[in-house]
Amino acid sequence: MLSAKIESKRQGEEIFHQGDQADALYIVSDGLVGVVDEGPPRRGVAKLGPGNVFGEISIITDRATSVTSSARA
């Protein structure tokens, strides 16, 4: 069964951490999401904005997340 819910995150709040088991697909509706590879060395990978989708690869492959994502301004 499919379901959807709206979540709001504060700036800097983590959505998921690299290595977490995925349990959702996310769609950015407002603001930005920062994507980081924890490394070493730790480095920014992408900034996602409204309309971008993320988290889907971990669900499809049933693997842990490969990056950390956090809410940004």
Q: Distance between CA 15 and CA 31 in Å, rounded?
A: 13
- Report, at the CATH architecture level, how domain 14-72 is classified: Sandwich (2.60)
Residue ranges per domain, the chain?
A: 14-72
Q: Is-contact 9 30, C-beta < 8 A?
A: no
Mention every residue, 6+ apart, whose C-beta is less than 8 A from residue 26.
15, 33, 53, 54, 55, 69
Mean pLDDT, the chain, rounded, equals 93
State pLDDT tens for residues 1-10.
Answer: 678 889 999 9
Across 54-64, average pLDDT: 91
Across 29-41, average pLDDT: 97
pLDDT of residue 1: 65
